[in-house]
Structure 1
């Protein structure tokens, strides 16, 4: 990744062949994973004309999925939605049980590997074929692919979809930036470090970042530093569970030590380990921090709450010749035993191809819609956070340079390893070297290495 080159109307009810119906077995059975299902789909499924009540399990605090379901029901009045919402940490812990015991038609997914291994997600290959998803840019969907029955991610069958394609980086308060003489976004790690030091000297909190709860946010600056010191390929290999992959590399050791140095220098809030995501956002919007590592899903919100006062930039590399680009689909899946899988698939296709839905992805979600490479993009006002994050996401997609999130390596690695180890690092109870070794050990236990 180099700098500046870097994420229908038909309503006839389709009756699927008996092989598709029989494929919907329970967890642990082989039915839902069978690619024979694809052969049964010869037409694009729809939601039909009869009343349908869709069950959905969404993440609290993110308005885009609800905005999409509301617009969908406005266009297809026979479809209603029963939406349950929880914090991401709760979804992470509950996902296997919910998918097995009360399978939703559509669910926000924390990570797909273990869910695929346990036969809890529907294989979407048949839908991808009839809707044409396989013709979209490969980088949009590769993170959601896996061989049936388990194994490394990045190739194989499609088991999830995205409601949009997000990009993460650094959001900054333009007013506070002016106070320290920062007139443009840093383009090297040294320039970023200099801005942190100047903010500290000016009694401005350099970085407002949550690190409390079961899914802390220090993984964001850490991964950006990893890509600043090294290449994204080995990081993706580790996340995708490629054989022999390790997170404990020389470049990642430099990244973890740099994060430890920031902590020692007092560049974060003193109460970061007690801060949740909502409190972080409140502090940033109140002008209580210069920088915040976060994603484009806040673009629309910040353009509304702080118009013209916030900027965004991809985290710069150590030497400035490349940039970090943690970018991934906002992942949703269909339960293996979902009652209305066809309607859910039709909805996912609508999200990527309908003009109103793509407008919501940009205006509310602040990020790049999924879909064909030549699909029209909604107009965005120049100078907004949304415009800056969209430009970054489009360049990443074109360059095929996206990294998945290090918290997605296994179903338990975020809550049971990254977060507690990063909390210990912040509290002075763990070293940078010990952090990576502990996470790698947990990873090997979880993937059976």
Structure 2
């Protein structure tokens, strides 16, 4: 349930040239992974390999939030591979998710495209055979040395697209993003409250702010997902990341109707009842909540790390960031790597596509990612502000702790709506903590049954 950073569609318009045919460098027999027929990448792609393609165009479809990253990457790529011109089309998050299946299945499919982790987008793309597995590319370029196994699960699928979290790798991203806690330095200093480091210190600080007559937490829940991210932050204190990810991934027997998640829901419901979020939060948008927090409404804001650049600019340095630690000193929260980059199964320009991913994932490009306010995980980089430095440092520690719990709405094609509506019911008192978790579990079980039925029908068709 990540929020799109930019919603307007845009593009980097570059001249298209005729595509040239070529062989694949390092190609060997066999498949890149189970169920895939085609050449493998067994050696790093070189400029000479790409040059053998002749003048060609590499077509890229991406989320609009990638514009600044691509504006830095594309000129560098075209300089390194002068026979390739990159044609980029970007679309707003919602528009991208609606159109990427048709784009990749069409006769003029892009060579690279972003999707979105989970059963809503990437699952159908894998099931339709529209994405090329990247296991061979990962091994050749050593990406498995950069990420924990838990983090890479978000891009793994069985070849039939039926099971998320295991199987072949179908995507990759050089960035991480997650939900943490922003705080207003001026408010905390005025109340004599130290910025919290642990979860216990965080909840104590909320109580102190409330006792002082100030609003502890700023929340805008008009889009329904922000409050669920607050629950997810607290859930990370109560439930192991492995259990949360197992549920999101659809592992048989997993449940979200557990005591830890119910306790998290109860905590956030009590915060709402006690006025910690103020009034009218269901009528405030997430963007307006960020603006109100920047203007001094609320001592804390639980929100995505991607808000750091805007808050740094608007608060003139009076903003800090933390991710409260668990009793054992580790961190866990709602979060993921960035929207996955995929290579189309239809591409005829595999060397150029692999070279594009290589440059995007390279240590040399990490600073360019940090310069546009994002958190690179592929190399060291200097942050653009103190709050960005805190976001980046904490994000890398979160990955090292294997504490990314993914987004609950990835768990089914209908979970986004279920989580949003049920969270509103929870905060308003229309449902209980147990009712909240049971509603999510019921959606999960219904979807699992649909998956089993579809798999059975597919097996019958194959026979």
| TM-score normalised according to structure 1 size | 0.80
Q: Deviations over 1:317-370 (max 9, x none)?
A: 4x5754324342102232433565543432222112152x21122232331323
- Which has the higher mean CA deviation after the structures are superposed, 91-100 or 264-273? 91-100
CA contact 1:37–1:126 (8 Å) conserved in 2: no
Give 1:108 deviation, angstroms: 4.2
- In structure 2, relative to structure 1, the CA distance for the partners of 1:270 and 1:150 (3 Å cut) is same
Give 1:247 deviation, angstroms: 0.6
**Could you list the runs of 5+ residues in structure 1 that have no partner in the other structure?**
1-11, 24-30
Give 1:156 deviation, angstroms: 1.9
1:4-15 maps to which residues of 2 (within 5 A)? Answer: 14-15=22-23
In the other structure, the counterpart of 1:193 is 203
In the other structure, the counterpart of 2:306 is 297
Give 1:51 deviation, angstroms: 4.5
Aligned with 1:81 (options 83, 87, 91): 87
In the other structure, the counterpart of 1:258 is 267
CA contact 2:126–2:160 (8 Å) conserved in 1: yes
CA contact 2:97–2:115 (8 Å) conserved in 1: no
- In structure 2, relative to structure 1, the CA distance for the partners of 1:69 and 1:442 (3 Å cut) is farther
- Which has the higher mean CA deviation after the structures are superposed, 343-352 or 77-86? 77-86
In the other structure, the counterpart of 1:247 is 256
- Which has the higher mean CA deviation after the structures are superposed, 173-182 or 233-242? 173-182
Aligned with 2:131 (options 118, 121, 129): 121
Aligned with 2:63 (options 46, 58, 66): 58
Q: Deviations over 1:204-263 (max 9, x none)?
A: 4322233223x6222211111111123222111111211110111011111111111111
In the other structure, the counterpart of 1:216 is 225
- Which has the higher mean CA deviation after the structures are superposed, 255-264 or 55-64? 55-64
CA contact 1:109–1:332 (8 Å) conserved in 2: yes
Q: Deviations over 1:47-73 (max 9, x none)?
A: 656252523231459744554446545
SS at match of 1:148: coil
- In structure 2, relative to structure 1, the CA distance for the partners of 1:304 and 1:233 (3 Å cut) is same
For the residues of structure 2 that align with 1:37 and 1:325, how far apart are their CA atoms?
A: 38
Q: Deviations over 1:156-211 (max 9, x none)?
A: 2111111312343111111122233212224233x323322333454543222332
SS at match of 2:340: strand
- In structure 2, relative to structure 1, the CA distance for the partners of 1:446 and 1:62 (3 Å cut) is farther
- Which has the higher mean CA deviation after the structures are superposed, 164-173 or 335-344? 335-344
For the residues of structure 2 that align with 1:269 and 1:81, how far apart are their CA atoms?
A: 47
Q: Which has the larger radius of gyration?
A: 2
1:16 counterpart = 2:24: yes
In the other structure, the counterpart of 2:345 is 336
1:367 counterpart = 2:375: yes
In the other structure, the counterpart of 1:159 is 170
For the residues of structure 1 that align with 2:351 and 2:283, how far apart are their CA atoms?
A: 43
SS at match of 1:315: coil
In the other structure, the counterpart of 2:243 is 234
- In structure 2, relative to structure 1, the CA distance for the partners of 1:170 and 1:62 (3 Å cut) is farther
1:109 counterpart = 2:116: yes
| TM-score normalised according to structure 2 size | 0.78
- Which has the higher mean CA deviation after the structures are superposed, 165-174 or 118-127? 118-127
**Could you list the runs of 5+ residues in structure 2 that have no partner in the other structure?**
1-19, 453-463
For the residues of structure 2 that align with 1:178 and 1:62, how far apart are their CA atoms?
A: 37
For the residues of structure 1 that align with 2:428 and 2:352, how far apart are their CA atoms?
A: 48
For the residues of structure 1 that align with 2:356 and 2:66, how far apart are their CA atoms?
A: 21
Q: Which has the higher contact order (CA 8 A, sep 6+)?
A: 1
- In structure 2, relative to structure 1, the CA distance for the partners of 1:38 and 1:262 (3 Å cut) is farther
**Count of residue pairs brought into register by the alignment:** 416
Aligned with 1:392 (options 381, 394, 402): 394
CA contact 1:167–1:393 (8 Å) conserved in 2: yes
For the residues of structure 2 that align with 1:178 and 1:109, how far apart are their CA atoms?
A: 40
- Which has the higher mean CA deviation after the structures are superposed, 404-413 or 70-79? 70-79
For the residues of structure 2 that align with 1:348 and 1:389, how far apart are their CA atoms?
A: 24
In the other structure, the counterpart of 1:7 is none
For the residues of structure 2 that align with 1:340 and 1:413, how far apart are their CA atoms?
A: 36
In the other structure, the counterpart of 1:424 is 425
SS at match of 1:218: helix
Q: Deviations over 1:253-299 (max 9, x none)?
A: 11111111111112225333233333233223333232122233333
CA contact 2:250–2:411 (8 Å) conserved in 1: yes
Give 1:399 deviation, angstroms: 3.3
In the other structure, the counterpart of 1:136 is 146
For the residues of structure 2 that align with 1:80 and 1:205, how far apart are their CA atoms?
A: 49
CA contact 2:33–2:168 (8 Å) conserved in 1: no
For the residues of structure 1 that align with 2:285 and 2:39, how far apart are their CA atoms?
A: 42
Aligned with 2:405 (options 403, 406, 423): 403
